[in-house]
Amino acid sequence: MTDTTYDATRTTGRSAPPFPLRSRARRRASDTMVRIASTAAALFALVFLFWILAVVARRGAAALDWTFFTSLPSPPGEAGGGLANAILGTAAMTVMAALIGVPLGLFTGIYQSEFGRGTRFGSFVRFTINVMLGIPSILSGLFVYTLMVVTMGHFSGLAGGVSLAILIFPYVARTTEDMLGLVPDAMRESSLALGAPRWKTTLGVVFRAARSGLATGILLSVARVSGETAPLLFTALNSPYWPKNFAEPTANLTVTIFNYAMSPYSDWQRLAWGASLLITLLVLVVTVFTRWRVGEVET
Residue 61 forms part of a structural domain? no
| Rounded percentage of the chain residues whose pLDDT exceeds 70 | 90
Confidence tier at 17 by pLDDT (50, 70, 90): low
- Asked whether residue 107 is assigned to any structural domain, the reply reads yes
Residue 14 lies in a domain: no
Quick one: pLDDT at residue 19?
A: 54
Domain with residue 159: its CATH number is 1.10.3720.10
Percentage of the chain exceeding pLDDT 90: 59
CA distance 49 to 249: 34
pLDDT, tens digit (0-9, with 9 covering 90-100), for 68-105: 999 999 888 787 889 999 999 999 999 999 999 999 99
Question: pLDDT at position 216, please?
Answer: 84
pLDDT above 80 (res 206)? yes
Rounded CA gap, 256 and 249, in Å? 13
Residue 21 domain-assigned (yes or no): no
Instruction: Report the alpha-carbon distance of residue 267 to residue 74 in Å, rounded.
Output: 9
Flag whether 57 is in a domain. no
pLDDT at 8 over 60: no
Examine the pLDDT at 295 and tell me if it is beyond 70.
Answer: no
Range of the domain at 288: 66-298
47 vs 192, which has greater pLDDT? 47
> Per residue in 42-72, pLDDT tens?
999 999 999 999 999 999 998 999 999 999 9
Average pLDDT over residues 20-48: 88
pTM: 0.84
Q: Average pLDDT, stretch 183-209?
A: 88
pLDDT per position as a tens digit, 97-154:
999 999 999 999 999 998 888 889 999 999 999 999 988 999 999 999 999 999 999 9
Q: Is residue 54 part of a domain?
A: no
**Confidence grade of residue 5 (pLDDT, cut at 50, 70, 90):** very low
Residue 3 forms part of a structural domain: no
String of DSSP letters for the chain: ----S--HHHHTSSPPPSS-HHHHHHHHHHHHHHHHHHHHHHHHHHHHHHHHHHHHHHHHGGG-SHHHHHSPBPPTT---B--HHHHHHHHHHHHHHHHHHHHHHHHHHHIIIII-TT-HHHHHHHHHHHHHHHS-HHHHHHHHIIIIIHHHTS--HHHHHHHHHHHHHHHHHHHHHHHHHTS-HHHHHHHHHTT--HHHHIIIIIHHHTHHHHHHHHHHHHHHHTT--HHHHTTT---SS----TTS----HHHHHHHHHTSS-HHHHHHHHHHHHHHHHHHHHHHHHHHHHHHHHH-
Q: Is residue 268 part of a domain?
A: yes
- What integer best gives the mean pLDDT of the chain? 88
Average pLDDT over residues 193-207: 87
Domain count of the fold of the chain: 1
